[in-house]
Amino acid sequence: MGRIKLDKPDLPILMLSYSEQPYVCRSRRRPRASGYLLKVCTRDQLIQAIKTVATGENLWTRDELRR
């Protein structure tokens, strides 16, 4: 992901993860992902997340950003 952001810094990246562990959140945020969802998310949650990051917004909550 870091390489993608070097080549295309404005490209939004949405990660899918199996884990809610805080260290996983940090590792996803560090390379500037626009957000992440758990793989068990609903179809509607996934569609909404894609639409959100496609408009340039991110999915990170204030708590996730503070950690």
What are the tens digits of pLDDT across the range 19-58? 776 556 555 555 578 888 888 999 999 999 999 999 988 8
Q: What is the pLDDT of residue 6?
A: 87
Whether the pLDDT of residue 60 is over 70: the answer is yes
Higher pLDDT, 15 or 29: 15
Helix (H) / strand (E) containing 22: helix 22-29
How many structural domains is the chain composed of? Answer: 1
Closest CA to 16 of 32, 39, 33, 34: 39
Write down the pTM of the prediction.
0.72
In the prediction, which pLDDT does 52 show?
93
Domain range for 40: 2-66
